[in-house]
Structure 1
Amino acid sequence: MKIDRNNRINEEVKREVSDIIHSDLKDPRIGGMVSVIRADVTGDLRYARIYVSIMAGDEEKKATMKALKSAAGFVRRELGARIDLRYVPEIQFVLDTSIEYSIHINEVLKKVENDHKDV
């Protein structure tokens, strides 16, 4: 029962934080395509890790992460206004590189497949 509740809270936080990033943040440092991949809220609702994927160059990723980390307080306040929870979790943004890693693995597999066809 508790796991189901935590999953629902994670999904709701993910959805709302994604909406806040795309519609309410006006920081010019946020560039590229920012996607919220996952939200992990602790059981006591005190902390939330928000995993984001950024499709951009390395410098732009660093600038975007810096902007997101500086906007964490704003995101927390907006989240508190949108979601009715006893505690509004403290937001921590984490860069998720799993999408880029899977693209890299796919390219390697295609290269191996093409090399195998040539033999």
Structure 2
Amino acid sequence: MARPAKPSGPSQRQLRIGELIRHALADMLARGDIHDDVLAKHVITVPEVRLSPDLKLATAYIMPLGGQDMKPVLKALEANKRYMRGEIAHRVNLKYAPDIRFRADESFAAAERIDSLLDTDAVRRDTLVARLKIDQGDEDQIPEEDRRNDDR
């Protein structure tokens, strides 16, 4: 008998609890509940929290506003993570409060890089040529995947 395929992504429970932890962390950082000089100087966003399948490890991706001073902010968060874990245990009703790891969120930089690539002359020229072929009725010369992307 064939085994069922493993799920490709996080479970609904992981996603839901990750979101609850994200809200708790963001609330603590916004209210200034963590008494640290470095954290008091920065506005910090928490775009995502990922949990391990056993819910014992939470990886919080953080980004200081403007992306400046990432290392001191990460160091301050690491120094205060024991307090934050206790607060999360009070705010989120879980059997075990997960251990928290803080990582720099690189998704903003990746999105910026993709935007800059899409803004190059070569890409603009290629999309213009594809649109002209569609307008002239030469859709057969455009690959199927390009036609699907062009319908947006």
Asked if TM exceeds 0.5, the reply is: yes
Aligned alpha-carbon RMSD (Å): 2.4
Which whole-Å CA distance do the structure 2 matches of 1:103 and 1:53 have between them?
15
More strand per residue: 1
Paired residues for 1:12-27 under 5 Å: 12-23=20-31, 24-27=33-36
CA contact (8 A) 1:32 1:56 kept: no
In structure 2, the gaps of 5 or more residues are: 1-9, 126-152
User: What's the secondary structure of 1:29's corresponding residue?
Assistant: helix
Structure with higher Rg: it is 2
**TM-score, reference length from structure 2:** 0.64
2:91 aligned with 1:67? no
Which whole-Å CA distance do the structure 1 matches of 2:109 and 2:34 have between them?
24
Task: Give 1:92's aligned residue.
Answer: 101
In structure 1, the gaps of 5 or more residues are: none
What is the aligned residue count?
114
Query: Equivalent pairs: percent with the same residue?
Result: 26
**TM-score, reference length from structure 1:** 0.79
**Which portions of structure 1, spanning 4 or more consecutive aligned residues, are displaced by more than 3 angstroms?**
55-58
Aligned match for 1:107, one of 111, 116, 132: 116
Letter in 2 for 1:89: P
Shift of the 82–101 alpha-carbon distance from structure 1 to 2, 3 Å rule, reads same
Which whole-Å CA distance do the structure 2 matches of 1:71 and 1:64 have between them?
11
Per-residue deviation, 1:92: 0.5
CA contact (8 A) 2:63 2:70 kept: no
